[in-house]
Structure 1
Amino acid sequence: MNISIDVKELDQQTTMTLAGEIDAYTAPQLRETAFPYTEKKQASVVIDLSGVTYMDSTGLGVFVGLFKSLNANDGTLKLVGLSDRLKRLFDITGLADIMNINSEAEGGV
């Protein structure tokens, strides 16, 4: 149960590329790495999930927290590269209706 997190910062945008599993064991590492970037005023965070093979409710909770933190600081969160399985997870929980989700990874991400 591993996760790798690659972070790139350019101006006000932070891009994180995740690979592996996001579950109860790896979610704290993701939270610890990602939250400092959400606390900056008007930050833009793009998270590429194309390398994520599994995510449970703990992982969803991390994304809800990131989303709330960015909203509180007038920032934005965009999730890209979701597999059909991850997209469905966000759809059935209703999170796809409030979060900016794109199943296609963006160029340069």
Structure 2
Amino acid sequence: MEFQTESHGDDIAVIRGDGRLNMVSGPLLRDAVKRAVDGGRARIVVDLSRVAFMDSSGLGALIGSLKTAREHHGDLRIVAPSAQVSMVLKLSNVETILTPYASVEEAYRD
């Protein structure tokens, strides 16, 4: 899986992946978030609409990425998780930390 990053406004990076978020692709997500933060965009949106599967390694990558963003006075928000990804978030109780949003625009509307 590859992750594409695009700018959204002055300080928001939108990161999109397509495929499976697991132990192979998790480090790639972490790298994408780190590059965005290092580039001055600490407000991160991870679009999960095309991520069909996520395991515990993928969940760890999301949490690690959240930590990276917050260490740089930002935040990480997730958008449009699939049914399987939503189930993993719910079963692990991570949805209380990473609340899913319906769209990129909604994620940082506040």
TM-score range (shorter-chain normalised) is 0.7 to 0.9
What displacement does 1:29 show? 1.9
Secondary structure of 2:49's counterpart equals: strand
In 1, Cα distance between equivalents of 2:32 and 2:68? 14
Q: Which has the higher strand share?
A: 1
**Aligned match for 1:105, one of 95, 99, 103:** 103
Two-structure CA RMSD over aligned residues (Å): 2.1
Which residue is 2:7 aligned to? 9
Identity of aligned residues (%): 23
In 1, Cα distance between equivalents of 2:39 and 2:89? 25
TM-score normalized by structure 1?
Answer: 0.82
What displacement does 1:41 show? 6.5
In 1, Cα distance between equivalents of 2:40 and 2:6? 18
- Aligned residues, how many? 105
TM-score normalized by structure 2?
Answer: 0.82
What displacement does 1:34 show? 1.9
In 2, Cα distance between equivalents of 1:53 and 1:101? 15
Q: Which has the higher helix share?
A: 2
Q: Which runs of 5+ in 1 are unaligned?
A: none
In 2, Cα distance between equivalents of 1:36 and 1:8? 12
Residue pair 2:45, 2:104 contacting (<8 A) in 1 also: no
